[in-house]
Every structure is written in C-alpha cells, then in structure tokens.
Amino acid sequence: MPGIIFTQEKTEMTRALDLEIKNSRNIPRYIFGEGSINNLKSLLLERNDNKSGYAVYFIDIFFEKNVKPLESLPILDSDQVFYVDTQNEPTTSYVDDLKNRLMGIKKSLPHTIIGIGGGGALDVAKAISNLLTNSGNAEDYQGWDLVKFPGIYKIGIPTISGTGAEATRTCVMINPATGLKLGMNSDYTIFDQLILDPELLSTVPLDQYFYTGMDTFIHCVESLSGNYRNAIGDAFSNQAIQLCREVFLGDDMMSNKNRQKLMVASYLGGCAIGNSFVGVLHPFSAGLSVVLNIHHCLANCIAITAMGQFYPQAVEEFLRMAKKQKVNIPRGVCGNLTQDQYGQLYRATIIHEKPLANALGKEFRNILTAEKTKEIFQAM
C-alpha cells in the first residue's frame, strides 16, 4: 500500500520478534480450475496402489445437507467420512475425539486424508493427519515445530476462500483447558496436494463469501503495514490485495471470473502469512472470538471498523467494498459490556505479542493500554 516504508534491514524489531531467515516451504502440488475436483478420483487411485487401503474424508458439515456440490466425490465403501462441525472453531479435544473415533473403527492407517470445506474443516484434516503418525494428543503439538514425523498424505479442497488455510503450515485449535488458541506450526502440517476448484464457491452465501474473502485482504494489509517485512511476503500480499480489489469493487463479486480470482487471492494470502505476521487487527478480532464467540472472519470485519488510526486507507477501502456488495457489518457489538468483559477482551487481545510488536513496536503495551483497548472495542 502506498505510504508504507519498505525495509529489509535487520532491525532491532526483527531481533525482538526472534526472526531469522526461514527455510520456507510451499504446497508441493495443486490443480486449479473449474471442475478440477474431478481429478480427485485418479489421485486417490494412485495413492491406493495395493487396492486394500482406504481414504478418510473430513467434510464441512454444511455439505451434509447440501450434497449437490460434492455429489461426484469418489467415496468408496471402505472409505470413512466425517462431517466437521464448523459452527465453532476446532478445539484440541474435538480433534482428539475425531481421531479416536477413526481408530476405533479402523485397525490400519488410511492412505490419504481429504479435507473439504473452509478453514475449520481444512485445519481439522491437517491436525488429524499429523496425529495419526505422532503419538499423544493435539495439545502436545500446539506450538512451533513440535511434530516429529510426516503425517498421512493429505489433500485439501477449499470450498470457501479467504482464510488461506489451504496454503499455511498451521492448523488453528483452541485448547479449552488453557484457553490457548494456537496451531501445530510445522512443515508437516502443509497439504501435499490442493485441488482449487472455483466452482465449489458458487453455493456460498453472499455474506459469508464477503466476510471470508476479507480475511485475506486484512491479513495482507496487516503484514504490509508491519515492521517485519520481506520482499517475498510483500509480493504475495500485494498481488492478493489487488485481486481482492478487483473482486469486491466489481459488480458481481461471485461471477465465474471473480470466484477464480478470490481463490487465487486466498492461496497467495496464505503464502504471504507464512512469510510475515499480522498486525493490530487480528488480536482485536481474536478478542471478539474468544470473549463474544464471534466467528473469525466476521470478527475481522467488525474489528476493522475501529482501526482507522492504524490502517486509515484500508478501512476506507473496506467500507467501500462492503457498500458496493451491500453487505451488512454488525455495529455496536461491544457497546454495552460489563467491566469484567472489557477486562477479558483486553487480556485476549494483548496476549498476541508477535503481531502487536510487528505493528506497534516492542513497547506496544504503552500504546494499547486497557483504557485505550476498551475505547477501540466500544467504537466497533
């Protein structure tokens, strides 16, 4: 975005964030295009070379009743299908439970895991793939580079675009016991294969399509405004933002062409996040999710309305996009809370040290005091 100073120098900030040059890993293989989901059958045949194996599907529960978009899935009698609850964000115990249910039914490991859905369903598929080859529970692997062995071969098929979960090396889970919201950040978490079929986005409700798509716009705005920058992350972010503008300032955000563009923007946004950090907005959004149970992508769209002092141009652009697409953004959600709730919101926000330091510097606590944080929440 114009007006932002670009620097690749090793500043005090990059040391404070414990940032060394990373050995980045991207998705090894992807198939892109309308109808590309029909390639799943041949991919699975290749995987099941001794013919006695089975595949496991983790499918967004949305498709349990809306069968049409996925009616051509090549599910065999020996395969297992689990519908993933995506109303709530995945918890570590939910992931453990699904893994145990699978291992209660089957004696051997699957040849392939297939995740189909939005960020939640994709993240559950990634987590279970890792847990089937690494002993213990999901919470044992919340953190950085704790997964020891490669997971089961996994294929990701997004059906809504924006979170970037299809491209990232994490799978976000909430640990209900500790309140910790953290993924298994590992190269082993990355999908082995993606199928990016824009046709699958055609049944997404308009509001959801907008809220979720905005996640990638916001990720990229935040990383481009941060202290920690690098040229590759910037390139992914700039291109993803450009595609979002074309989609959401266009007349029909869900036209064939725009569905393709958003799917690419989400993928590039996911790659960008692997090379950078988010900023002030995601911590506030996390506060809304943890304390008020607002879904991540909607929480972002609510939080951005109060971010004018940090991201003025992006806020103006966001409001223009929402108006153009006639999407309603709930207001006043934090207008009338108890002192205790404002305290919870503050703690759930300020805990995100890396993104806040990336945006505001090491002394971010001096800027985001409890009082200031409350004012920002009240302005949403």
Instruction: Work out how close the CB of 296 gets to Zn ion at its nearest, in angstroms, rounded to a whole number.
Output: 6
Nearest distance from C-beta of residue 282 to Zn ion, angstroms? 6
Alpha helices in 106-177 (DSSP H): 119-131
Nearest to 165 by CA among 212, 194, 122: 122
Two structure tokens written together for 75: 């599910």
Residue 163: CB minimum distance to Zn ion, A: 6
CB of 215 to Zn ion, least distance (A): 4
Radius of gyration of the chain from its Cα atoms, rounded to whole angstroms: 20
- Dihedral of CA atoms 335, 215, 290, 355 in degrees, nearest 10, equals -100
Helix axes 281-292, 206-224, angle to 10 degrees: 140
Shortest distance, CB of residue 355 to Zn ion, whole angstroms? 11
Question: Whose Cβ is closer to Zn ion: residue 99's or residue 295's?
Answer: 295
Q: Which is nearer to Zn ion, 60 or 215 (CB)?
A: 215
Tokens for 69?
């978009």
**Shortest spacing between CB 219 and Zn ion, in angstroms:** 6
Which residues lie across from 31 on neighbouring strands?
195
Determine the Cα angle at 196 with ends 150 and 185, to 5°: 35
Residue 200: which of 167, 160, 163, 166 has the closest Cα? Answer: 160
Is there a contact between 99 and 132 (Cβ–Cβ < 8 Å)?
Answer: yes
Which residues of this protein are in contact with Zn ion, per CB under 5 A? 215
What secondary structure, in 3-state letters, does 249-270 show? Answer: CCCCCCCHHHHHHHHHHHHHHH
Least spacing, CB of residue 369 vs Zn ion, in Å: 25
CB of 233 to Zn ion, least distance (A): 15
Alpha helices in the chain (DSSP H): 12-16, 40-47, 62-65, 92-105, 119-131, 206-224, 231-248, 256-274, 281-292, 296-303, 312-324, 339-350, 353-360, 364-367, 370-378
Nearest residue by C-beta to Zn ion? 215
- Residue number with CB closer to Zn ion (197 or 215): 215
CB of 166 or CB of 215, closer to Zn ion: 215
CB of 254 to Zn ion, least distance (A): 21
For residues 339, 341, 343, 346, the Cα torsion angle rounded to the nearest 10 degrees is -130
Nearer to Zn ion by Cβ, of 60 and 192: the residue is 60
Task: Look at residue 177 and give its three-state secondary structure.
Answer: coil
132 or 201: CB nearest Zn ion: 201
Task: Provide the minimum distance between the beta carbon of 273 and Zn ion in the complex, in angstroms, as a whole number.
Answer: 8
CB closer to Zn ion, 192 vs 215: 215
How far apart CA 127 and CA 112 sit, in angstroms, is 13
Nearer to Zn ion, 36 or 225 (CB): 225
Instruction: Locate 300 and state its tokens.
Output: 């972002």
How far apart CA 66 and CA 58 sit, in angstroms, is: 15
Is residue 159 within 8 Å of 69, Cβ to Cβ? yes
Cβ atoms of 66 and 97 within 8 Å: the answer is: no
Nearer to Zn ion, 110 or 119 (CB): 119
